[in-house]
Amino acid sequence: MGNSIFHCVTTYNYQIVSLILFFVGLLGVTLSRNLIKILISLEFIMNAVNLLFISFASYKSEQAYLGYTLVIFSTGMSALVLSVGIYFAYILHKKFGTIDVIKIYDKYKETGKC
Amino acid sequence: MAEISLLIFIFLPVIAGITILTPLFSDNQIYIRRFSVYFAILHLLFSLMFFIFGSNIDMQNTDCISCVFAPDFKAALPFVNNNVLNQIGIHISFGIDRLSGLMMILTALITTLTVIASKLYVKKHFKYFYSLVFFLETILLGIFTTTDMFVFFALWELELIPMYLLISIWGNHNSKKSALKFVLYTFGGSLFLLLGILLIYFTNFAVSGVLTADITHISMNRVNLLLQLVISVFLIVGFGVKVPIFPLHKWLADTHTNAATPVSMLLAALLLKLGIYGIIRFNFGLLTLGFTVLAPILGLLAIVNVIYGAALAYYQKDIKRLVAYSSISQMGLVLLGVSSLTNIGYSGAVYHIISHALTAAGLFFIVGIIKLRFRTGNINRLSGVASIAPRLYGFSMVIILAAAGIPFLSGFIGEFLSIYGAVVSSLVSFKLYAVIGVFILILSALYLMKLVHEVFFGLLPERFKNVQDIAVHEFIVLGALSFIIILLGCFPFVIIDFLNV
Amino acid sequence: MFSFNNIIHYLSEILIALTIFLQIICSLFNLKKISNYLTAAGLGLSLYFLIAAQVWPSELYSFLFKIMILISSLLILFLNTRRVFIKYTIHFNILYLFSILFLLMIADSTNYLSLYLNIELFSLAVYFLFSMDKRDVTIAESYKYLVLTVTASAFMLAGAAFLYGLTGSFYFQRISDYIKTSSNYSFSTYVIPFFFIITGLGFKLGVFPLGNWLIDIYKNVDTKIAAFISVAPKLAIFSALVKILGSIITFESSFIIILFALFTGIYGVIYGIRSNNLKEIMAASSYINISYLLIALGLYTKLSLATMLFYWAVYVLMNIGAFAGIISLEHSNQYSQNADFRGYFYKNPLFGLCFGICIIGLLGFPLTSGFIAKIYLISGILNSGVIILPVILIMIALMIVSVCIYLNVIKKMFEEIPYKEMNVIKTKSTNAFVLYICTFMTLFLGILPAWLIKMCEYISIYI
């Protein structure tokens, strides 16, 4: 820990980075029109949260195991959920021939509900 | 025995209503009407018998001031107590004092007349109509007799369901919209009423330590003025929708115009009385201190009501709307009498409640007859009704003159006593209101005379030559109303003495 | 903490897991009929063991929530669905039981980790429940729900991370202890984590900022699943919220929750007033009722919690009853999602009456349990002081407008329709059974509510 560069990087900086990541992901989810890009943005959000946990865990040396446990679980869980998301995106692509959200919306408005 | 008979009296109409709904009756008007009319008349007789025999006991042992100033149930018949919700302080209990006794008879009478009158105005779903009328009667009797605030509130809201259905199903094509308006206004008001009732409940608990919702056990005398005022305002908003007090009256004219004639009769004669009954029971009886402070404002609102109602009534083209606005004006007088805080004013208000119930029912029925026979309600297109329907004309004159406040008819006594109450009131502002009120007597004569002049007098147009005069059932209704109006006008002390013994 | 000594407390969950296992065996041999009975039996047995198990008084409320989850899912199981689902009965049952299992775990969770995991696992089952009929719309809905769920979970986890950074724990109890013992406590440091957590958990309740999904899900997904989504997850989340709020409840946190609640209610009212579709009206009703419940929860006094519990019990039954009415209407209309409910009453007076009672109950009219719940709720809220009066006035405004929404339904129900359009509503007997039970309970609790009120007050003492 004697390194001069890493010495000035505190948990505070990690939090800032993770919050930036979080909101970048949130913007991606809300603004992106591509089904896959939305999923990537979700991954951004989850990683931001993970980073937050890791930074706090390094700060709380006694209860660090809690943060690391959660990170492992959440990584696994987000992988699981994302795979399901990709499956849905794939089916949507197969059905509509596009992965553009607005085009899909227009199409199923055209074809009539149900 | 007395308590069981009260319970039977209140719940008998429900049984009748359920009987009509059962497969015993097919959807055949004749049998259902026959059953309903006989039942209603028997119920009316029951109410009279109950009244004559039941109230002898307490006539002697109540002093007049407590009865007039603090309408209490204790002085009346023993309660019917049924501890269903005992642990949260809610009892389903009923009891009567003089005021609610009068209202009970009025309810039974008006329901009977309505059932007789609805022969030609109800053309579909006879089963549902008559059973709903009977359900409504029970609910109204419950409101007038219950001693528990929460039961009062429950019935107050419950009354909306039959009323909504009665207005919307049997009205004209616009009736669903106005029924919605009616429910919306009343429901909104009733939530304020709930707030007021809950505040009474909690403050009473805080002051006395007893968790009770029984009006007879609650005393708000020790509660400070500010809280009393807040509660009073909430309650007045709640009751004011039904009265209706000036800014909350919007629903009334539309609802009356679009509802069927018998429903209008019920609405004007009974439903409007609920509000004033609530004000007497809660604001006048429980929150006396707050009411004393609010009385000048209420008196002002009452005067506004009277003038506003009369002015609008005068400019209406539709005769049913005219009558509807007239009842806003008349209820203003009742409110003036109550808020004058005098013995005489109170008697006058109660007297005018009864008088207005009779005249409003009569007026709406007359308007209904005219609208049915002549197929128009436009005041400009109608004329000369008197020449083709002399019997209708005769009865109409009695009822219209009574509404206008001509001596020897019931309306005069009520108006006179209400204004006299304002004159003798200790509050200075009421003297002013009384002066205005005297002129109002002329106003109410004005629009009613317009009605008589435009509709009944004049030349009969050619297209109305084949119109029939009133039939037997209409004769019975109008005759009974006129008879009672003349009786009350000639012997007013029957009721005034009864109220003030 | 888990230990095998008190396995009896987890018996209901274990039974459901066992039923899932048996279902999988059933699916091997394609035993459709047995599968349905097995599901009902499994849920019933787990309900029995839940009631039979002894619980700590402080756990009684989550116990009540779990009972409500199981009862509502049992009732919803009897509702019938479109034909496609009958083909996949066993798959449906497996996913259904899977989601219920994790709902029960959400209701029981004691820390943010298990809360997060259970929410995600529950949602995993729900994605496939939504899109089981493989229509274009439902797959799109599933995708949308997935994206929103992950976002909401991330919000919750971010809040949990901040709390972890502040207090060093995930456990609600330990966070509460830390806050109580720390000397320089100020809520301002907890505002952001609290805000994040409420946003995240509010998603499942349909609370304003992320609650938009509710309407689309109600409209597009099969009605049986919509009925399930409308009740069960919200119950579980509320159970978790009671714990979470218990750990960091202050005046400010109450204020935040009430703010969320009022926004939700206003959004629901604005949405519902111009909608003409039964599903949209149900969604609006969900928003409005959740807002009342959140206000009662946010105040966190003994009486307001008791009223919240009572309101939930009542709302669950009325809501399922209304959904049963809608499903029976759709069933006789070839499952058109926008079923025409004009003249419902004349098409089948008994169903119309029952459905009407449920709607009137949601409205809060007397003789139904909704009336008692309304009075009780307002009294519970009012009891926490005159300072709350403005909130109550807004609530009253919401109630007045919501009357407009519900009466629209009643108005349409009594609308006269031409004779040739008059097809009598017929449905499966199980569906009618659910409708009758819900109506009966609505009326029963409207007339004799005292026992349940007493129970709720007893439970709320120990929260």
Query: Is A40 near chain C, with CB under 8 Å?
Result: no
In angstroms, the separation between the Cα of residue C403 and the nearest Cα of chain B is 7
Asked if C127's CB is within 8 angstroms of A84's CB, the reply is yes
- Per-residue pLDDT tens for B252-299? 888 988 899 999 999 988 998 999 999 988 888 888 888 888 888 888
Largest CA distance in chain A: 66
Q: What is the DSSP string of C270-313?
A: HHHHT--SHHHHHHHHHHHHHHHHHHHHHH--HHHHHHHHHHHH
- Per-residue pLDDT tens for B144-157? 888 888 888 888 98
- Per-residue pLDDT tens for C43-58? 999 999 888 877 777 7
Identify the closest residue of chain A to C122 by CA–CA distance. A81
Q: What are phi and psi of B427, to 5 degrees?
A: -80, 135
Asked if A114's CB is within 8 angstroms of C337's CB, the reply is yes
Confidence at residue B56, expressed as pLDDT on a 0 to 100 scale: 44
Confidence at residue B66, expressed as pLDDT on a 0 to 100 scale: 24
- Mutation for B interface: C400, C402, C408, most B CBs within 10 A: C400
Q: pLDDT band at residue C456, thresholds of 50, 70 and 90? A: confident
Asked if C127's CB is within 8 angstroms of A88's CB, the reply is yes
Task: Look up the CATH number of the domain holding residue A40.
Answer: 1.10.287.3510
Lowest mean pLDDT among B59-63, B171-175, C223-227, C411-415: B59-63
Q: What mean pLDDT is predicted for residues B437-451?
A: 82
Residue B308 scores a pLDDT above 60: yes
Q: pLDDT band at residue B86, thresholds of 50, 70 and 90? A: very low
In angstroms, the separation between the Cα of residue C209 and the nearest Cα of chain A is 13
Averaged pLDDT score across all residues of chain C? 86
Confidence at residue B76, expressed as pLDDT on a 0 to 100 scale: 30
Averaged pLDDT score across all residues of chain A? 84
Lowest mean pLDDT among B46-60, B304-318, B453-467, C335-349: B46-60
From residue B180, alpha-carbon distances to B167, B168, B247, B389, B471 in Å are 9, 8, 18, 36, 34
Residue B63 scores a pLDDT above 80: no
C454 occurs within a structural domain: yes
Confidence at residue C439, expressed as pLDDT on a 0 to 100 scale: 93
CB contacts, 8 Å: C414 with chain B: 165, 168-169
C138 occurs within a structural domain: no
CB contacts, 8 Å: C170 with chain A: 66, 70
> Which residue, among C336, C332, C352, has the nearest Cα to C344 in the 3D structure?
C352
Query: Is A65 near chain C, with CB under 8 Å?
Result: no
Query: Is C365 near chain B, with CB under 8 Å?
Result: yes
Query: Is C458 near chain B, with CB under 8 Å?
Result: no
Residue B392 scores a pLDDT above 50: yes
DSSP helix/strand/coil, B368: helix
Q: pLDDT band at residue B77, thresholds of 50, 70 and 90? A: very low
Kindly provide the b/e burial profile for residues A39-75, where b requires at least 16 CB atoms within 10 angstroms of the residue's own CB.
Answer: bebbbbbbbbbbbbbbbbbebbeebeebbeebbeebe
Confidence at residue B373, expressed as pLDDT on a 0 to 100 scale: 85
- Per-residue pLDDT tens for C132-159? 887 888 888 899 899 999 999 999 999 9
- Per-residue pLDDT tens for C175-222? 888 888 876 667 777 888 888 998 899 888 888 877 888 888 888 888
Residue B2 scores a pLDDT above 60: no
- Mutation for C interface: A26, A62, A70, most C CBs within 10 A: A70
% of residues, chain B, pLDDT over 70: 90
Asked if C168's CB is within 8 angstroms of A60's CB, the reply is yes
Query: Is C148 near chain B, with CB under 8 Å?
Result: no
Q: pLDDT band at residue C421, thresholds of 50, 70 and 90? A: low
- Mutation for C interface: A77, A96, A111, most C CBs within 10 A: A77
- Per-residue pLDDT tens for B342-372? 888 888 888 899 999 999 999 999 999 888 8
The whole domain housing A76 covers 4-110
Domain count, chain C: 1
Q: pLDDT band at residue B53, thresholds of 50, 70 and 90? A: low
CB contacts, 8 Å: A52 with chain C: 158, 161-162, 165
Identify the closest residue of chain C to A96 by CA–CA distance. C136
- Per-residue pLDDT tens for B188-210? 899 899 889 888 888 887 787 77
> Which residue, among B203, B169, B161, has the nearest Cα to B186 in the 3D structure?
B161
> Which residue, among C196, B374, C301, C97, has the nearest Cα to A26 in the 3D structure?
C196
What is the enclosing helix (H) or strand (E) of B494? Answer: helix B493-500
CB contacts, 8 Å: C112 with chain A: 70
Identify the closest residue of chain C to B168 by CA–CA distance. C411
The whole domain housing C305 covers 249-463
Confidence at residue B75, expressed as pLDDT on a 0 to 100 scale: 28
Q: What tokens appear for B362 in the block?
A: 């009569």
Confidence at residue A42, expressed as pLDDT on a 0 to 100 scale: 92
Contacting C with CB below 8 Å, chain B residues are 84-88, 150, 153-155, 157-158, 160-161, 164-165, 168-169, 176, 180, 183-184, 187-188, 191-192, 194-195, 198-199, 201-202
Q: What mean pLDDT is predicted for residues C366-378?
A: 86
Identify the closest residue of chain B to C378 by CA–CA distance. B195
Task: Break chain B down into helix, strand, coil percent, rounded to 5.
Answer: 75, 5, 20
Lowest mean pLDDT among B10-19, B462-471, C296-305: B462-471
Q: pLDDT band at residue B137, thresholds of 50, 70 and 90? A: very high
- Per-residue pLDDT tens for A19-68? 899 999 999 998 988 999 999 999 999 999 999 888 888 877 778 888 89
Domain count, chain A: 1
CA A88, CA B169: separation in Å to the nearest integer?
49
DSSP helix/strand/coil, B175: helix
DSSP helix/strand/coil, B243: coil
Residue of higher predicted confidence among B77 and C96: C96
Interface present between B and C (3 or more CB pairs within 8 Å): yes
Asked if C365's CB is within 8 angstroms of B161's CB, the reply is yes
CB contacts, 8 Å: B157 with chain C: 364-366, 371
Confidence at residue C339, expressed as pLDDT on a 0 to 100 scale: 62
Identify the closest residue of chain C to A73 by CA–CA distance. C117
Identify the closest residue of chain B to C406 by CA–CA distance. B180
Residue B45 scores a pLDDT above 80: yes
CA C367, CA C356: separation in Å to the nearest integer?
13
A-contacting residues of C 104-143, CB under 8 Å?
112-113, 116-117, 120, 123-124, 127, 131, 135-137, 139-140, 142-143
- Mutation for C interface: A26, A59, A66, most C CBs within 10 A: A66
Q: What mean pLDDT is predicted for residues A11-15?
A: 78
Asked if C450's CB is within 8 angstroms of B84's CB, the reply is yes
List chains touching A (3+ CB pairs under 8 A): C
Confidence at residue A46, expressed as pLDDT on a 0 to 100 scale: 92
Residue B167 scores a pLDDT above 60: yes
Query: Is C117 near chain B, with CB under 8 Å?
Result: no
In chain B, domain spans: 287-501
Q: pLDDT band at residue C424, thresholds of 50, 70 and 90? A: confident
Asked if A49's CB is within 8 angstroms of C157's CB, the reply is yes
Among C366, C392, C404, the residue with its CB nearest the CB of B180 is C404
Confidence at residue B82, expressed as pLDDT on a 0 to 100 scale: 37
Confidence at residue B244, expressed as pLDDT on a 0 to 100 scale: 86
Asked if B165's CB is within 8 angstroms of C378's CB, the reply is no
